[in-house]
A = this chain, B = another copy of it.
Amino acid sequence: MSEPISGPAFFIGKGDDTLISFGSGQPDLPPPVEAFDILKTYTSFKYGLVQGEQSLRSALASQYPQATAEHFVITNGASEAIDLVLRSISVPRGKVLLPRPYYYSYPFNVLYAGMTPCYYDLDKNGKVDFTVFERIVQGCVAVMINSPSNPTGTVQDIDTLKKIEALCDKLGVYVISDEVYKDIIYVRENYLIQGSRVITVNSFSKTYAMCGLRVGYAYSTNKELIEKIVEMKTHTAMNTSIVGQVMALAALSAPQSYIGHNVEVWHARRDLMYNGMRELGLLLWKPEGAFYVLPKFKNSGRAVNDLYYTYKVITYDGAWFGAPERIRFSYALDATKIQEGLRRLKEFMGKEYASY
């Protein structure tokens, strides 16, 4: 999941080699070769099961404790998974609790499902303050958890996640855990939130760099909910692209070193980005996962514009993510470009920005 494409379209800046884009939230590293190899002899064209190919769901099941293929629905990316989950559990105008800063689609997803977004602010370390969470979650239908987070780059403490898990279970509140960055964590292993009202949302977009192929999934041990989602998807989309699913299955067969290598690259870029920004005097959370930094910037909207028009640097205004006076930088671009981008940022900060 990525891009505020509702933001200025020209920010995509295709075909201009002098542009440095910290905008896009998509890996530049290629998918596993296995995903493309399979295409050379690909010939299928008929409908697949709405729930997703059995082979793909079985392969995914082996990655989750006590899971079976029945616990999964393959979706058009994590976006469709979130849309279907929210619509399936929808209670008219029911409250859905979102962390702030949030992934920019969440409020829309909640509204589109006929519910009402409500928010709690992450603390000064970009973490969930459980005392705040505990108070505000009362009366909610569902909460969305996003760890590692887009756009903050923070990873929630396991202790906090366990407390959220237990509290929501007690309250009967659904937990929609968006774990699309679960394989890009620098500080620990991913912690899988579990429970009968937990739905894990995941994707092949980040781990396997398959953004445009739109293969994601919802996982839940709540079979009744999974059936509801499948029934809805039967009418709203039918099966997820069968060729995408075959590519996803092939990606899973890639050697584990594919993921390990990518994480090393992300880690090195994270250091480059974080240290570079600190040297510029910016205040930001050190990313523990995903590939974003969200430094503070006064007049962020103006800064985003100036950076684009004068310095040809694409960034996203934090306001799109519920984080005014911050700017999101994705570091999904190679080290040379990151360095050039930081150089331009330094120039900008020394000139225009100083006068804001």
Contact surface of A with B, Cβ cutoff 8 Å: 1-3, 5-6, 24, 26, 30-31, 35-36, 39-40, 42-50, 76-77, 79-80, 83, 87, 105, 108-109, 112, 114, 209-214, 231-232, 234-244, 247
Distance of A248 from chain B, by nearest CB (Å) = 11
Cβ–Cβ contact A79 & B237, under 8 A: yes
Q: CB-CB < 8 A to A40: which residues of B?
A: 39-40
Most buried by B among A26, A30, A40, A112: A112
Chain B minimum-CB-distance residue to A110: B235
| Cβ 8 A contact of A3, one of B3, B39, B47 | B47
A45 engages B237 (CB within 8 Å): no
Q: How far is the CB of A266 from chain B (nearest CB, A)?
A: 17
Contact A212 B83 (CB under 8 A): no
The smallest beta-carbon distance between A246 and chain B, in angstroms, is: 10
> How distant is A291 from chain B, measured CB to nearest CB, in Å?
15
Cα–Cα, bound, A77→B239 (Å): 9
12 pairs of residues in contact across A and B, judged by CB atoms under 8 Å: A30-B45, A35-B45, A39-B39, A39-B42, A76-B80, A108-B232, A109-B235, A212-B241, A212-B242, A213-B243, A214-B242, A243-B247
Residue picked from A42, A49, A105, A243, most chain B C-beta under 10 Å: A243
Cβ–Cβ < 8 Å partners of A6 in chain B: 231, 234
**In the complex, A49 Cα to B48 Cα: how many Å?**
25
Instruction: Check B105 against A235 for contact (C-beta < 8 Å).
Output: yes
A247 to B45, CA, bound (A): 11
Q: Which residues of B contact A30 (CB under 8 A)?
A: 45
- A213 CA to B87 CA, complexed, in Å: 24
| A26 / chain B contacts, CB cutoff of 8 Å | 46-47
Q: Give 12 A-B pairs besides A46-B211, A214-B242 with Cβ atoms closer than 8 angstroms.
A: A1-B238, A3-B47, A5-B234, A39-B40, A47-B211, A87-B112, A112-B235, A112-B236, A114-B114, A212-B241, A241-B244, A243-B243
